[in-house]
């Protein structure tokens, strides 16, 4: 059975949003887009969790998506983060992404208000009917406080322009239920679980660590996609410590922003309520980066 969201297969990087003196650093964002495309990634996802979307103003959110669409200029797919816990706001953001030239919309499950399963269904259905754009469901109950159950996701997969799911529950059972029960493309939402998910039939990853080592993530995903499991496994274990640091040292995107700073690739500035990685965390991350073979300051 073919999967209808295969346009999003491979590596999509969940972009950080560079800041300078409290504002979006547009030049740094454009450079990041160019660097990731040069590394060979297939997709870019601005304004997700890693992009600190909760602290972007509406104008900034729209502007970041505009910049990424403009700078990528068709060289990579743009999967714009346009989710909200307000259905009307998610529709507005998704309409803007379509007008900006995005190839798809990454829509996080409504957070905080904890809908019932029927509420999840009606939320995504309303967006799908309002905007003719491929939609990727982003299911991350660790942040949104409630799981979109596999039966609901499979039901949503019957809608024409809901094409994929970013699976960030950490459950291989849930992923298996979606892969078995729908023709949705399934993408890993956890870097450390990309290879296990691909072994079940997943098609790639929306990656945080790809901000730092995009070529290595792509090499692993490509190896798995071509059935070279020995190479894919070796790369998985090489990446594993770095992937775990991105999640275990502090809340994402604090560690990846710290890595950007340590690698002298940007300021690493965050917006409150996120705060800098602790000195102990920085020391641990520096060891991980050095052991990986990356040159730190």
- pLDDT tens digits for 65-101? 999 999 999 999 999 999 999 999 999 999 999 999 9
**Would you say residue 249 has pLDDT above 90?**
yes
Asked if the structure places residue 73 within a domain, the reply is yes
Average pLDDT, the chain: 96
Asked if the structure places residue 89 within a domain, the reply is yes
* 294: DSSP letter: -
Asked if the structure places residue 1 within a domain, the reply is no
Confidence band of 209 (pLDDT split at 50, 70, 90): very high
Whole-prediction pTM value? 0.96
Rounded Cα–Cα distance for residues 105 and 45 (Å): 9
Residue holding tokens 């770095």? 242
Q: Name the nearest CA neighbour of 237 among 253, 255, 251, 216.
A: 216
Q: What is the pLDDT of residue 2?
A: 80
**Would you say residue 130 has pLDDT above 60?**
yes
Tell me phi and psi for residue 19, to 5 degrees.
-120, 150
**Would you say residue 1 has pLDDT above 70?**
no
Asked if the structure places residue 273 within a domain, the reply is no
Q: What is the mean pLDDT of residues 221-231?
A: 98
**Would you say residue 185 has pLDDT above 60?**
yes
Count of domains forming the chain: 1
Asked if the structure places residue 77 within a domain, the reply is yes
Confidence band of 60 (pLDDT split at 50, 70, 90): very high
Give the CATH number of the domain where residue 65 resides: 3.20.20.70
**Would you say residue 230 has pLDDT above 70?**
yes
Domain that holds residue 128: 6-227
Q: DSSP string covering 57-87, please?
A: -HHHHHHHHHHHHHHHTTSSEEEEE---SSH
Q: What is the pLDDT of residues 146-180, one digit of tens each?
A: 999 999 999 999 999 999 999 999 999 999 999 99
**Would you say residue 51 has pLDDT above 60?**
yes
Asked if the structure places residue 213 within a domain, the reply is yes
Q: What is the mean pLDDT of residues 184-196?
A: 97
Active site residues: 138, 166
Rounded Cα–Cα distance for residues 35 and 180 (Å): 36
**Would you say residue 30 has pLDDT above 70?**
yes
């Amino acid at each position: 059975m073919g999967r209808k969201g295969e346009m999003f297969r491979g590596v999509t990087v969940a972009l950080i949003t560079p800041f300078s003196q409290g504002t979006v650093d547009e030049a740094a964002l454009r450079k990041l887009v160019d660097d990731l495309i040069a590394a060979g990634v297939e997709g870019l996802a601005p304004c997700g969790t890693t992009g600190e979307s909760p602290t972007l103003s509406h104008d900034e959110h729209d502007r970041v998506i505009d910049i990424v669409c403009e700078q990528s200029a068709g060289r990579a797919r743009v999967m714009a983060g346009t989710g909200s816990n307000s259905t009307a706001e998610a529709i507005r953001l998704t309409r803007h992404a379509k007008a900006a030239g995005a190839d798809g919309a990454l829509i996080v499950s409504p957070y905080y208000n904890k809908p019932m399963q029927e509420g999840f269904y009606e939320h995504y259905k309303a967006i799908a009917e309002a905007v003719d754009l491929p939609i990727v469901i982003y299911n991350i109950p660790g942040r949104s406080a409630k799981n979109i159950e596999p039966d609901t996701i499979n039901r949503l997969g019957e809608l024409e322009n809901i094409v994929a799911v970013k699976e960030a529950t950490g459950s291989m059972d849930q992923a298996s239920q979606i892969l078995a029960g729908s023709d949705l493309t399934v993408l890993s939402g956890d870097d450390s679980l990309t290879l296990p998910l691909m072994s079940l039939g997943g098609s790639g990853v929306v990656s945080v660590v790809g901000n730092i080592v995009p070529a290595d993530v792509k090499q692993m995903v490509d190896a798995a996609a071509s059935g070279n499991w020995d190479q894919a496994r070796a790369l998985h274990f090489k990446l594993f410590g770095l992937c775990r640091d991105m999640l275990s040292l502090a809340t994402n995107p604090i560690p990846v922003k710290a890595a950007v700073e340590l690698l002298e690739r940007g300021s690493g500035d965050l917006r409150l309520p996120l705060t800098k990685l602790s000195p102990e965390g920085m020391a641990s991350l520096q060891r991980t980066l050095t052991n990986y073979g990356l040159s730190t300051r």
